[in-house]
Amino acid sequence: MPIAFSANLGFLFTEYALPDAVRAASRAGFKAVELHWPYATPAADLRAALNETGLPVLGLNTVRGDLDKGEFGLAALPGRETAARAAIDEAIAYARAIGAQNVHVMAGRAEGETAERTFADNLAYACTAADAHGIGILIEPLNARDVPGYFLTDIAHAARIIDRVGAPNLRIMADCYHMQIVGGDLLTRLTHHLPKIGHIQFAAVPDRTEPDHGEIDFSWLLKALADAGYDRPFGAEYKPCGRTEDGLGWLKAF
């Protein structure tokens, strides 16, 4: 099965304004793009670049909240439901404007059963609102070294939340970088949860740069995941060591 890649424009091609980053990703051979927080860019400008290149947008994130206070998402924060749902509405509206396939709803720093219930309720709201437009909702476990106190760190926990919410358009964004730090055993765990996975991302571990070195052999792992049935583009979400184009040897090798 041929393997395709998505460029995460939150980290890759940041040398360019976002519409030109889409064009650069297309020139480099990526078959899709994904975004972090594109809201400062007029959707029409982005849509023009997407139409021009024909690249699909796999997803974008809800805003994190008050960065000065260290917020990293709102959806699992008890008492912040109004802000969380406004962030979800904003993300869905932007996703519709550019034709993005998914919205990643960021949980935030929280713990315990009340946070879990808040997250599940906000996700149910997001899933209903997104489903009306054919958009999926993603949740992503993040490692606690990079994001201390983040509500969701473990893929098995993400799977339990999906069962609890019970919405057909809710899936996991499984990031190999975070998962390796949170327990490794990537092929077995990813394959086990594959029916619930909507997107897979990757970067070298531990330095989160180009995926051609470090603890994980991606030339083996990504082929094994494709053999196991994962048939969507893999999201390259790493921090380039220099200019993005200068570090694309791994892409050419695939």
Ligand X SMILES: O=C(O)[C@@H](O)C(=O)CO
Residues with catalytic roles: 140, 237
Burial string for 54-77 (b: 16+ CB within 10 Å, else e) reads ebbbbbbbbbbbeeeeebbbbbbb
**Chosen from ligand X, Mg ion, none, partner binding at 34 (C-beta under 5 to 8 Å by type):** none
User: Is 6 an interacting residue with respect to ligand X (CB under 6 A)?
Assistant: no
Closest CB to Mg ion among residues 26, 201 = 201
The DSSP line for 132-185 is: TTT-EEEE----TTTSTTBS---HHHHHHHHHHH--TTEEEEEEHHHHHHTT--
Closest CB to ligand X among residues 202, 250 = 202
Minimum CB distance to ligand X, residue 59 (Å): 8
Site string for ligand X, 81-120 (x = CB under 6 A): -----------------------x----------------
Minimum CB distance to ligand X, residue 237 (Å): 6
Secondary structure class of 246 (helix, strand, coil): helix
Closest to 208 in 3D by CA, of 2, 5, 12, 61: 12
State how far the Cα of 22 lies from the Cα of 200, in Å rounded to an integer: 20
User: Where does this chain bind Mg ion (CB under 5 A)?
Assistant: 175, 201, 237
Minimum CB distance to Mg ion, residue 137 (Å): 15
Q: Which of 26, 61, 118, 209 binds ligand X (CB under 6 A)?
A: 61
User: Is 143 an interacting residue with respect to ligand X (CB under 6 A)?
Assistant: no
Minimum CB distance to ligand X, residue 60 (Å): 9
Minimum CB distance to ligand X, residue 175 (Å): 5
State how far the Cα of 200 lies from the Cα of 174, in Å rounded to an integer: 5
Give me the sheet containing 5-8, strands edge to edge.
32-34, 5-8, 234-236, 197-202, 170-175, 136-139, 102-104, 60-61
Closest CB to Mg ion among residues 201, 209 = 201
Q: Which of 38, 77, 197, 237 binds ligand X (CB under 6 A)?
A: 237
Closest to 232 in 3D by CA, of 189, 206, 201, 253: 201
Q: Which of 175, 176, 204, 244 binds ligand X (CB under 6 A)?
A: 175
User: Is 210 an interacting residue with respect to ligand X (CB under 6 A)?
Assistant: no
Contact residues for ligand X, defined by CB under 6 A: 36, 61, 104, 140, 142, 175, 178, 201, 237
